[in-house]
Every structure is written in structure tokens, then in C-alpha cells.
Structure 1
Amino acid sequence: MNISIELLLIPVAYLIGSISFAVVVSKCMNLPDPHSYGSGNPGATNVLRTGNKLAAALTFLGDALKGYFAVMLARVLLGDQSLTASLGSWVLCGVVLAVFLGHLFPIFHGFKGGKGVATACGILFGVNVILGAATLGTWIIVAAFMRYSSLAALAAAVFGPIYFVFLFGFQPMGIALLVVCLLLIWRHRSNIKNLLNGTESRIGSKKNKN
């Protein structure tokens, strides 16, 4: 593929990431704008505050699938037939960062995006199924035992790059995933403060503020 065409994959990935499924699902299901209540975060946890579990599930699924789709689309168009080639592709690294930044700062929604947990999950599965499953498993375990959605997300963010290095060693993709995980931690800075203060609400609490 021509290098100029390859580079177009990066802005396309950003546009894909800019689709906020919290907003889309809420509009389709006649729910209030997720920016207008709770934490104001357009994500599955905030949508769950409406009491509509289906809407929250669809939001998570949509945000995860856009991350997965952007990565897989790029891999197909780049013609990467092997995992090794994918992990060494700087264009694919750019796609990973672009789709995640699109979710955090969506051009379609005034650059007011979510915290990136679901999209990061989709990205990891797009990079490698085992990597995605291991990181998702970390989230599930921490969430089940500690009952803090934010703490589970932070734990997954920390272990994601570690799992990558353990599975594949040091590759360019590892740098991109590290940046994604650092951004995810940064977006959870208010949750970190609440956790340290003992004021972070647990999963299932009506006042959950993740």
C-alpha cells in the first residue's frame, strides 16, 4: 500500500474513535444525554445510572467494538499477515493511539469524551486475543473482589503493557499501548483521588462516580 494511503488510516481511526456510543445509544433509547447527569462521563458506567442495563451494555460493547474494528481494519488494509509484522508497524501504532484519542476527545461531541476503558479493551483484543483476554480478566477479578470499577480499570491499565511485554517482548506496539494505558490512568485521576480519600463508590452503589 502507498505510504500516503497508509497514513490516512490514522485520521480515519480518530474519526471512528470519535463516535460516542454513550450518546448514540442514549439518543436511540430516548435517554438523557450522558453529559448531563452523574459524572458527566459518556461511558457505560454513567449510562448505567439511568437504570437501563441494556443501554449500559450496548454502550460498552459499542465503544469496545470501535477500538477492535479500527485496529482490525488497519491490519487488513496494511496486509499484515503475521502478528510479528503487526506489532512492528508504526502505522498500526498510530491507529491505536488515534482511535483511543478519538474516544477521549471526540470531534463529533465537542471533544468531551469518555475515560477509555471499553475502547482500550477493544484495542487490546484487536492487537491479540490472548492479550485482551488477560487484561479483561484482570479487570473482572479486581472488580469482583474489590467492587470498584475504577480500581479495576486502573489495575488493567497497569497490567496491560506488562502482559504485552511478557507475551511479545519489546515491540513498537508496546510503546503505543503504554501511552494508551497512561492516558487511561490520567483520565481516572479524579477516581484515584476518591479512592485515596475513601469516597469512591463501589459497583452497585447508586452514587457510583466512576
Structure 2
Amino acid sequence: MSSYIPSLIAIVLSYLVGSLSFAVIVSKSLGMADPRSYGSKNPGATNVLRSGNKGAALATLLLDALKGWLPVFLIHHFGAGLGLGAGTAAVAGLAAFLGHLYPVFFGFQGGKGVATAAGALVGIEPLLGLATGVTWLIIAVFFRYSSLASIVAAFFAPAYYLIGGQIAWPLDLAVLLVLVSISLLLVWRHRENIRRLAAGTESRLGSKKT
């Protein structure tokens, strides 16, 4: 049992880091309205952008990505001595992602987790994160829907891992299961967006708060 304690501690700490809702923290620190009170009411960078404050949106984006990347990076680089491998690092990234979705510090009412998932992907495999990020960017530029870009990128992330595993990195079943879990959760969290996309009522990137 004691051999699992470092992994459990790392996973719990990752969840707590993920539970820091930077959309709310950044907005309140700048004297802005709570992002849960306007637009999509989602505490994430895209909704903060609807406030018109691009700096706040960028800070939210980077901090949300950082909290997904940091636990994975730390375990990759410093966890070997504690017996923490790639699988534990990936699960820590999933824990940070779940913290963003269901933050203990904010009544378990979190965001959709796109930036945090992206940070975790970069931590797991930088090239995987890059490929997924480029996919998001291409869809966002051409269609102007953040939600659609996120759904498409989520769909491709596990596929990129499988394809890249033939060339750039060794495949790990635990990592693959984490990627599939993150992708399914991202699609689930965007279910209302999917309905609005189908109805033609989804807000485009850059639209103001309502």
C-alpha cells in the first residue's frame, strides 16, 4: 500500500491545483464581473474574452493551461525517484483537468477544461499538444467557433497519440486511456454547445457578453 502513497498524493495535489478557477480569480483581481454571471456563464478564457478584456482572457488561458501542464511536467522530471512514471503523470494531468471541471474551491462548478486539457497534453507529449493545438487553431480560424474547434481537437487527440506512437514516442495504455477519458469529458462538457451549433445559435469567437 505504501508504494501507492506518492502516486495518490501527486494525483490529489494535481486535482487541487486544477481546482483553481483562474477565470474567476483573474476577473476578480482586476475588478471585473464574475464570468459566471454573463455570456455562457462558463468560467473559462473564451467567456472572459466576451467581457472585452483581451488581457484578462489571455491571462486566464495561460494560467488554466499552466495548471494542466505543471503536475505532468513535475512528475515526468522529478518523479522517477518516487517510482512515478508516464502513467502517473498522465493521470495527474487528468486529475488537474477534473479539478477544473469540478473545482472543490468553487462549489464544484467549473469550466469546460479546454486550456487545462491542452496544458496536460503538452506535458504528456509536447508534439501531441502541438498537433492538437494546431487542429484547434485551424478549426477556430476557419469556422470562428471555439466550441467546434475544441470538439474536433478532442476527437483527434487520442488518434494523434496512436499515430505518433509509431514514430515519436512509446505507446502507453494508461496514457491512451487518460487521453480518451479527457476527450470524452470534453465532448460531454460541450453538449449544450453541440445543440446550439446544430441550431445555428452558437456564439462565435469575439462576440460580446449578453
Q: TM-score by structure 1 length?
A: 0.91
The residue type paired with residue 99 of structure 2 is G
The residue type paired with residue 22 of structure 1 is A
Local SS of the residue matching 2:31: coil
Distance apart, 1:74 and its partner CA: 2.0
The unaligned stretches of length 5 or more in structure 2 are none
Query: 1:70 is matched with which residue?
Result: 71
1:70-126 superposed Cα distances (whole Å, 9 cap, x missing partner): 11122233218xxxx944x2x223212211100000001111100011001100100
The residue type paired with residue 56 of structure 1 is A
Query: 2:59 is matched with which residue?
Result: 58
Taking the TM superposition and a 5 Å limit, the aligned residue runs for 1:24-103 are 24-79=25-80, 86-87=85-86, 89=87, 91-103=88-100
User: How many pairs are equivalent?
Assistant: 202
Q: Deviating runs (4+, > 2 A) in structure 1?
A: 91-94, 204-208
- 1:22–1:44 contact (8 Å) kept in structure 2: yes
- 1:106 paired with 2:138, answer no
Local SS of the residue matching 2:78: helix
Query: 1:151 is matched with which residue?
Result: 148
The residue type paired with residue 184 of structure 1 is L
The residue type paired with residue 79 of structure 2 is L
- 2:157–2:183 contact (8 Å) kept in structure 1: yes
Q: What is the rounded CA distance, in whole Å, between the counterparts of 2:209 and 2:50 in structure 1?
A: 8
Local SS of the residue matching 1:32: coil
Deviates more, 1:71-80 or 1:97-106: 71-80
Q: Which of 110, 113, 116 in structure 1 is aligned with 2:113?
A: 116
Query: 1:141 is matched with which residue?
Result: 138
- Coordinate RMSD, CA, aligned: 1.8
The residue type paired with residue 38 of structure 2 is Y
Q: What is the rounded CA distance, in whole Å, between the counterparts of 2:193 and 2:202 in structure 1?
A: 7
- 2:90–2:120 contact (8 Å) kept in structure 1: no
Identity %: 51
Q: TM-score by structure 2 length?
A: 0.91
- 2:52–2:208 contact (8 Å) kept in structure 1: no
The residue type paired with residue 45 of structure 2 is A
Per the alignment, do residues 206 and 66 of structure 1 end up closer, same or farther by CA in structure 2, a change over 3 Å counting? same
- 2:90–2:124 contact (8 Å) kept in structure 1: no
Distance apart, 1:37 and its partner CA: 1.4
Query: 2:5 is matched with which residue?
Result: 4
Q: What is the rounded CA distance, in whole Å, between the counterparts of 1:117 and 1:192 in structure 2?
A: 15
Q: What is the rounded CA distance, in whole Å, between the counterparts of 1:104 and 1:64 in structure 2?
A: 13
The unaligned stretches of length 5 or more in structure 1 are none
- 1:6–1:78 contact (8 Å) kept in structure 2: no
Query: 1:18 is matched with which residue?
Result: 19
